[in-house]
Amino acid sequence: MEVRIEQSWREVLNEEFQKPYFAELAAKVREEYTNHTCYPPARLIFNAFDLCPFHRVKVVIIGQDPYHEPSQAHGLSFSVMDGVQFPPSLQNIFKEIRDDVGADVPMTGNLQRWAEQGVLLLNATLTVRAHEANSHANLGWRTFTDNVIRILSEKRNNIVFMLWGGFARGKKYLINVEKHKILEAAHPSPLSANRGGWFGNRHFSQCNNYLETTGQEPIIW
């Protein structure tokens, strides 16, 4: 089936788009967007892919599903649109970046600047019904995004996978640890972060050190 997505991803994922489960997923998503308010806006469902072509992926940050309140989600995990108040998890991400690499907390929670540097901000579920967290978790998105992770692991080398929290850590089996760098920590949400395991993880400096040792440009966090 025809999917509007960045060209390099279209080529890599073309076989995926032809599978029966994806046709069923697309039909369910269309029905949801027709009958309910859903996020992100339909044109931004594949925004993470559009901003970060397959051959440019250097880092993958896995989230669970999009923010489910108005004007937040725009297709990038943990990111919000310009002018939107930082959600608690994003606040903690910025605090760790500040403590780790010394970068000032930015004025915006829009992480498009990361995506354009090669950070694939991938939610396991790409859509959500308004005000209902995880409401699209069983539509079939996770089959798709699991296969995205698997394909990246197989076809690329030296990617940093940041797995935050138990859900993201559960994706580790999809990744070839001999070809890629895996960084694991607690989830940055206040409930998890305040129990320990998030603050002080130094993932952002560790990521850049690995990128540099493998001949890649570091990320400006």
Annotated active-site positions, please?
65
Structure tokens belonging to residue 165: 């929290």
Q: Are 126 and 66 in contact (CB under 8 A)?
A: yes
Structure tokens belonging to residue 110: 């829009």
Q: Are 217 and 211 in contact (CB under 8 A)?
A: yes
Q: Are 96 and 201 in contact (CB under 8 A)?
A: yes
Query: For residues 45 and 144, what is the distance between their CA atoms, to the nearest angstrom?
Result: 13
Query: For residues 72 and 61, what is the distance between their CA atoms, to the nearest angstrom?
Result: 18
Gyration radius of the chain's alpha carbons: 17
Structure tokens belonging to residue 197: 């395991």
Partnered with residue 120 across adjacent β-strands are 60
Query: For residues 31 and 15, what is the distance between their CA atoms, to the nearest angstrom?
Result: 23
Structure tokens belonging to residue 95: 């605090």
Cα angle 174, 177, 181 (rounded to 5 degrees) comes to: 105
Q: Are 120 and 156 in contact (CB under 8 A)?
A: no
